[in-house]
Chains A and B, each alone.
Chain A
Amino acid sequence: MKPFLAMLTRDMKLATRIGGDSLTVLLFYIMTGAIMPFAIGPDKDQLAQLGPAIIWISALLSLLLALDRLFRMDHEDGSLLAMRQASLPLEMIVVAKICAHWVTTALPLIVATPVLAILLNLEIDQTLRVIFTLLVGTPALICFGAIGAAVTVSIKRGGLIAPILILPLSIPTLIFGVSAVSSGAIANAQDAALLFLAGFTLLSLVFTPFAAALALKMAAE
């Protein structure tokens, strides 16, 4: 347990220090969300209707921003190689890094969501529902991102390669995330969408550690 916690706290420290990703992601999220009302115009009803989708798109884009770097820094400075000798399997190291990444990037973003909700004129119950779907759905986004980041870890200046790889995988999460908030034509569609969202998250949590660890091992060859 101690090696796992050491990995977790170290990544959390790195993300919150200067040059870390926490603040970048948070600011990008608020910025993209905040400029939407200016582009869409002052129609309050329209804003409220588009609100959940805007929040989800902003969250997805800002998470993509930092996901690319999940393993790259450690790969470049030799830490990843040294981590493979740890008394912890690489799969568990991936789990620790995913947890730390979720806490330092997705969680601040979820906490900041009410700010965006006010700007987008969302009702309180809808705001709470967006926050809940983000809580359920963002771990899946981080997991898919981790696989993309692991596959592209050895590509120097990969640029957009990882996001291009991650984006198609993230689309189902986006679809069900938004439809779990927005009122659709079909009754109970929201709850079904929420269950699908939870299913994606659970599935990705199970497969990602193995897939990402395998990709990292192959990248080191």
Chain B
Amino acid sequence: MRKNGKNPENIALNVMNLACERGGFEIFSGVSFTAQPGEVILLRGPNGAGKSTCLATLYGVLPKSFGTVSFENIDPEREPREYLHIVGHVPGVKTTLTVKENLTFWAQLYGGTENVLPAIEAAGLEAIQDSEASILSAGQTRRLGLARLLVANRPIWILDEPTSALDKQGDQWVGQLIADHCAEGGIVIAATHLDIPHLAPEAVKTVMIGYSAVDHAS
């Protein structure tokens, strides 16, 4: 029996035949998948294939030119965005705020927990929690950006290259975060080349993003 502490409402995501066009140029098309609670969707494809664009279309920042994105079991009174966590290329860290202030802000803005210490410890930043984020290295900044995932519970995580700038331990940490989230019923959609540890192979779906952009260029 799977625990579903991270996804009590059993939110699922259905994507049908999604496509996105930018300036008359088709970036990607025909992306379909369903994400049930506890599943990881890995988007794979060469550079320029439209992985980031596909993620942006999923969370609604870019308009889709075709297809549907539907969330199952969400409260009709609430917006889909309130079920999402997004970590993009840039981590969203303010360098003049301390590590703790950065996380406390996100916790409050997302309606999350008041106690951000567990998230700081999970990111391995407890020794410098009261230092300004400007002293952090690129990898530590990325860890701080990812720690945002832990301060407020959102069932669906959308991650764009979450392991860039991270070392080997960092890769493992992110893999573990994703595995833990899914083990408790969460959904993770990530554009990454990372292998997710400790997760049943059937819970990991790989979606290849088309080669249309590359084809057009050649």
A pairs with B: yes
Bound complex: CA A81 to CA B91 (Å): 10
Residues of B within 8 A of A82 (CB): 86-88, 92, 106, 148
**Closest-CB distance, B51 to chain A (whole angstroms):** 16
User: A185 in the interface, Cβ–Cβ < 8 Å?
Assistant: no
Bound complex: CA A212 to CA B31 (Å): 32
**Which residues, 90 to 137 on B, are CB-close (under 8 Å) to A?**
90-94, 96-97, 101, 104-106, 108-111
Assuming A85-B86, A85-B154, A87-B110, is B101 touching A77 (CB within 8 A)?
Answer: no
**Which residues, 1 to 16 on A, are CB-close (under 8 Å) to B?**
2-3, 5-7, 10, 13-14
User: A49 in the interface, Cβ–Cβ < 8 Å?
Assistant: no
Across the interface, A85 reaches (CB within 8 A) one of B85, B89, B91, namely: B85
| Chain A residue at smallest Cβ distance from B148 | A82
Bound complex: CA A3 to CA B111 (Å): 7
Question: Do residues B90 and A2 form an inter-chain contact, with CB atoms below 8 A?
Answer: no
Residues of B within 8 A of A84 (CB): 61, 81
Across the interface, A87 reaches (CB within 8 A) one of B63, B87, B92, B111, namely: B111
Bound complex: CA A6 to CA B90 (Å): 21
Question: Do residues A220 and B92 form an inter-chain contact, with CB atoms below 8 A?
Answer: no
User: A78 in the interface, Cβ–Cβ < 8 Å?
Assistant: yes
User: B82 in the interface, Cβ–Cβ < 8 Å?
Assistant: yes
| Chain B residue at smallest Cβ distance from A93 | B109
Bound complex: CA A22 to CA B191 (Å): 40
User: A79 in the interface, Cβ–Cβ < 8 Å?
Assistant: yes
Could you mark each residue 143-166 of chain B with 1 if its beta carbon is under 8 Å from any beta carbon of chain A, else 0? 001001000001000000000000
User: B177 in the interface, Cβ–Cβ < 8 Å?
Assistant: no
Residues of B within 8 A of A220 (CB): 61-62
Across the interface, B110 reaches (CB within 8 A) one of A14, A79, A85, namely: A85
Across the interface, B96 reaches (CB within 8 A) one of A14, A83, A88, namely: A14
**Closest-CB distance, A81 to chain B (whole angstroms):** 6
User: A45 in the interface, Cβ–Cβ < 8 Å?
Assistant: no
| Chain B residue at smallest Cβ distance from A220 | B61
Question: Do residues A221 and B92 form an inter-chain contact, with CB atoms below 8 A?
Answer: no
User: A18 in the interface, Cβ–Cβ < 8 Å?
Assistant: yes
Across the interface, A77 reaches (CB within 8 A) one of B59, B90, B110, B111, namely: B90
User: A41 in the interface, Cβ–Cβ < 8 Å?
Assistant: no
User: A86 in the interface, Cβ–Cβ < 8 Å?
Assistant: yes
Most chain A C-beta atoms within 10 Å of own C-beta, residue among B62, B91, B106: B106
Bound complex: CA A81 to CA B52 (Å): 13
Residues of A within 8 A of B85 (CB): 85
User: B84 in the interface, Cβ–Cβ < 8 Å?
Assistant: yes
Bound complex: CA A191 to CA B158 (Å): 55
User: A168 in the interface, Cβ–Cβ < 8 Å?
Assistant: no
Question: Do residues B94 and A77 form an inter-chain contact, with CB atoms below 8 A?
Answer: yes
Bound complex: CA A77 to CA B154 (Å): 22
| Chain B residue at smallest Cβ distance from A2 | B108
Question: Do residues B92 and A79 form an inter-chain contact, with CB atoms below 8 A?
Answer: yes
Question: Do residues B92 and A78 form an inter-chain contact, with CB atoms below 8 A?
Answer: yes
**Which residues, 72 to 111 on A, are CB-close (under 8 Å) to B?**
76-79, 81-89
Residues of A within 8 A of B63 (CB): 221
User: A199 in the interface, Cβ–Cβ < 8 Å?
Assistant: no
Residues of B within 8 A of A83 (CB): 109
Question: Do residues A81 and B88 form an inter-chain contact, with CB atoms below 8 A?
Answer: yes
Assuming A88-B109, A221-B61, A221-B63, is B148 touching A10 (CB within 8 A)?
Answer: no
**Which residues, 48 to 64 on B, are CB-close (under 8 Å) to A?**
59, 61-63
Question: Do residues B89 and A13 form an inter-chain contact, with CB atoms below 8 A?
Answer: no
Residues of A within 8 A of B104 (CB): 6
Residues of A within 8 A of B (CB): 2-3, 5-7, 10, 13-14, 17-20, 76-79, 81-89, 217, 220-221
User: Can you report 8 A-B residue pairs in the complex whose CB atoms are below 8 A from each other?
Assistant: A17-B96, A81-B61, A81-B86, A83-B109, A85-B59, A85-B82, A85-B86, A88-B109
Q: List 4 tightest A-B contacts by C-beta distance, closest first.
A: A6-B108, A78-B90, A78-B92, A87-B111
